[in-house]
Amino acid sequence: MKPEIFKGIANCVNNFDGNYSDCFDNLCKLYPDILPETLKSIMNKCSCQNNKKNLWKCQKNSTMLYSQFLEATSTNFPVGFVAKLAKKYGVEPLAVANVLLQEENKCNGGSTKMWHLIKDTSLINNQYLAHETFLCTLLDFSYSPIGNVIKKRTGYEYEVKIHTELKKHGLSFRTEYDLRKQLYMKTPDILLDVPIAVNNSIVRWIESKALFADEPTHKQYCQEQYFTYFDSFGPGLVIYWFGFLDGIVQPGENRYIVHDKFPDNFLKLEI
């Protein structure tokens, strides 16, 4: 994806005054030629970046936020109050809910882990906060239990997809689970038993990522995963199924290649 298109999508997300679903529908109309999964991935990326950038404001003003919440509950409490606060501070809904839960827990001398309360809002004693937290889990696609399940399911779905592709082409391989049994510390999703050649590049391993990769995302994965894979197994192939930003691979890079699908043309090497 060209940088100017990515920047345009990011600007639309950051400047949109509405909920997640409306923002997604708007992007689909503005960019009909881009996969919906790609747009969702970029949306989630922007939301996470904004959350990290602005979270300190909520934490710094946690006592004030809690006071505002209690004041609202003593009058005609507006449904969606916490989500509106999140919009005001430029963070995800559960970020504000988490801050309020911490303040509530602190005031009541409790020691319950916040994540347990978010996963099961029936454990929250304050009925208003319980309802608002549950509502936030439905509106927050980046940090909610539902969002985490969707991410894991999507990742697994595309791992199965690459397994199917390899079997279709008669390529023998070991999965990361097979490799962990052999006590490897860091393992790619796939280690080919027989390497393949793709456009004159040797591929020994494959890493499947069900996301769109911008430069910071790619750099982080390089440091945390790809360079280690190269040291252990040799060169490999990274698949960003929902696309990637042009120019994220440096000229002369020979430790891995990047595609957005399993390549149609490859040569099976004989050892």
pLDDT digits (tens, 9 = 90+) for 136-195: 999 888 888 888 899 999 999 999 999 999 999 999 999 999 998 887 778 999 999 999
pLDDT in tens, 207-232: 999 999 999 999 999 999 999 999 99
Statement to judge: residues 121 and 198 lie in one domain: no
User: 7 and 131: one domain?
Assistant: yes
Each residue's pLDDT tens digit, 59-118: 999 999 999 999 998 888 888 899 999 988 989 999 999 999 999 887 655 545 788 889
* Residue 146 belongs to some domain of the structure: no
Among 155, 150, 158, 157, which Cα is nearest to 261's? 158
Residue 149 lies in a domain: no
Residue type (1 letter), 207: E
Domains: count for the chain: 2
Q: Please give the share of the chain, as a percent, with pLDDT higher than 70.
A: 97
Residues 164 and 94 in one domain: no
**Per-residue confidence (pLDDT) for residue 142, from 0 to 100:** 82
Q: Mean pLDDT across the chain, nearest whole number?
A: 91
Domain boundary residue, one of 78, 112, 139: 139
Question: How does pLDDT run across 44-71, given as a tens digit for each residue?
Answer: 999 889 889 999 999 999 999 999 999 9
Pair 129, 13 in one domain: yes
pTM over 0.85: yes
pLDDT, one tens digit per residue, over 5-33 is 999 999 999 888 777 788 899 999 999 99
Indicate whether 74 and 131 sit together in one domain.
Answer: yes
* Domain extent at residue 230: 157-268
